[in-house]
Amino acid sequence: MSFDLLIRGGIAATPNGIAEADVGVKDGRIVAVGSLANAKAAEVFEAKGLHVLPGVIDTQVHFREPGNEHKEDLETGSRAAVLGGVTGVFEMPNTNPPTTTRVAIEDKLARAKNRMHCDYAFYAGATPANVGALGELERLPGVCGVKAFLGSSTGTLLLSNPDDILAALKGGTRRMAVHSEDEDRLEARKGLRVTGDPRSHPVWRDAETARASTERVLRLAKEAGRRLHVLHVTTLDELPLLAEARDYATVETTPQHLTLSAPECYERLGTYAQMNPPIRGPEHREALWQAVREGLIDVIGSDHAPHTREEKDKTYPDTPSGMPGVQTLATLLLDHVNAGRMTLERFVDLTSAGAARIFGIAGKGRIARGFDADLTIVDLKKKRRIENSWIASRCGWTPFDGMETTGWPIATIIRGRTVMRDHALTAEGQGAPLRFVETLR
């Protein structure tokens, strides 16, 4: 047998289990998995002692282009992704202008071509004005679905009226993603923000703000007969509701909400810990971990949302919410694997197989014959310190600066091409639009 690429001697996470296996790649796809000791290959990757995992897919990133390229753009954001072991991303629509029309989607796809280093798909943003067009927009090539902001966050997108939410839910068929916070409660509680004290952020945007919104959108989705994906779930209060809606609703959380907790993170990081929905107390973090262990969480996305230091250094609440995360997603979660908080099998499900399953990504999410050769090769025992100097995002900082983690991506392979090795970019502009089984042409 002859391959374009042979990954030899690694411990591969396959549908048959995690065990030593070689992986043979030809024309960008996996064509053989097993003992391939006598095979020939144009390129051989010696992976002895390393784990070969399905490529990590980050289902929630904000790369800020167009309109806010001083914080991030598609090139720098995707550079950060592959340096962190991420092979594919879903990019969010709250840009300027927002991604709410066919023209805006086609513009993003044109900007991404030959510039993005990982594979990509873009969300179409829902507004009261475009609910009638969402069924068409969600079926365009390179679109991963519809995203609705039910409570105001970064940008201008907002879909808070129940009639508009229901119209959006009835206006399409693919799984719809929502940022779930109740806008009326956010407005009513603005007075609880304390100037100069970001510890008041989770007081203003309290657990009931998330719970009430999630209860409502689950009811509306059931009425509409629409599959729903609730992004960055943060509260123990939402979890029983989501557990009762498993036939049509899927659940996402973030590494930040599994790693940080209030008030400590605000006391240590100030506004650099500010994000929406907020980092909450340890009781919510433990409930999220229990949901991970029980299988209620389907996927973990970073909610990568960079802002400049100048913006973050203003006085709360005149500071933007969000923090970078695409580059640190894999190593943070691998550190949790090493600490015994989740298994490596669960890591694979939450960062790759889960996204492929619930969004219907074609040809991604497992190491098996016929699938794209998207691979994240990691050294589970490697210890290294996360540092701001390593961050490729244009913002140049991470809330995890100075934290030592165990478990690091060593190589990122996308459709058989090694784009990152030993923490350095090795090939540029290799990204292509992700394909989805519901919209294959």
pLDDT in tens, 74-111: 999 999 999 999 999 999 999 999 999 999 999 999 99
Q: Residue 141, by phi and psi: left (phi above 0), alpha (psi -120 to 50) or beta?
A: beta
Assess whether 303 carries a catalytic annotation: yes
Q: What is the mean pLDDT of residues 340-346?
A: 98
* Predicted local distance difference test score (pLDDT) of residue 54: 98
Domains of the chain: 2-52+368-428 (2.30.40.10), 56-359 (3.20.20.140)
Q: Are 285 and 237 in contact (CB under 8 A)?
A: no
pTM recorded for the entire structure: 0.97
pLDDT of residue 156: 67
**Residues β-bridged to residue 25:** 5, 30
What secondary structure letter does DSSP report for 74? Answer: H
Contact 29, 377 (CB under 8 A): no
* Catalytic option among 58, 206, 303, 374: 303
Residue 441 CA, distance from chain mean position? 26
Q: Once rounded to an integer, what is the mean pLDDT over residues 232-242?
A: 98
pLDDT in tens, 284-313: 999 999 999 999 999 999 999 999 999 999
- What Cα–Cα distance (Å) separates residue 57 from each residue in 119, 121, 209, 245, 311? 9, 11, 29, 24, 29
- Identify which of 82, 11, 105 has the alpha carbon closest to the alpha carbon of residue 415: 82
CB 263 within 8 A of CB 310: no
Q: What is the DSSP letter of 279?
A: P
**Burial call 292-306: b when 16+ CB within 10 Å, e when fewer:** beeebbbbbbbbbbb
Stated length of the chain: 441
pLDDT of residue 42: 97
Tokens of 388: 């701001």
* For range 170-178, the mean pLDDT: 97
pLDDT reading at 251 higher than 80: yes
Strand partners for 121: 90
CA-CA distance, 273 to 319, in Å (whole number)?
11
Q: What pLDDT is attached to residue 280?
A: 98
89 near 329, Cβ under 8 Å? no
Are 30 and 367 spatial neighbours (Cβ–Cβ below 8 Å)?
Answer: yes
Say yes or no to pLDDT of 152 above 90.
Answer: no
Q: What was the pLDDT predicted at 441?
A: 75
Residue reference for tokens 């999630």: 214
Question: Is the per-residue pLDDT at 155 higher than 90?
Answer: no
For residues 68 and 29, is the Cβ–Cβ distance under 8 A?
no
Residue 358, phi then psi, degrees to nearest 5: -80, -25
